């Protein structure tokens, strides 16, 4: 089995729903470990999430573009 270095992040705000069926959430999350510790980034997360949840990211380099209202 392969070892994966995942980075724990805490969801601090759920911004918007996106995706064809609304299954993807745009969230702001605070990084708890690694070189970017303490930084808050915007990411797209598939599946149900809420404020305070801890999720694992494989990388923290990329940031999602903000969803703009039409």
Could you state, in chain order, the average pLDDT of each consecutive group of 10 residues for the chain (70 residues)?
84 91 93 92 94 93 83
Supply the pLDDT for residue 52.
95
Q: What is the CATH number of the domain that holds 17?
A: 2.40.50.140
CA-to-CA separations, 12 to 5, 7, 21, in angstroms, rounded: 22, 16, 23
Q: How many domains does the chain have?
A: 1
Whole-structure pTM value: 0.82
User: Is residue 17 domain-resident?
Assistant: yes
pLDDT given for residue 69 in this prediction: 67
Domain that holds residue 15: 7-57
């Amino acid at each position: 089995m392969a070892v994966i270095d995942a980075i724990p992040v805490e969801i601090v705000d759920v911004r918007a729903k996106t995706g064809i069926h609304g299954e993807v959430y745009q969230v702001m999350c605070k990084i708890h470990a690694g070189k970017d510790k303490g930084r808050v980034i915007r990411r797209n997360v598939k599946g149900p999430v809420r404020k305070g949840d801890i999720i694992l990211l494989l990388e923290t380099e990329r940031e999602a573009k903000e969803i703009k209202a039409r």
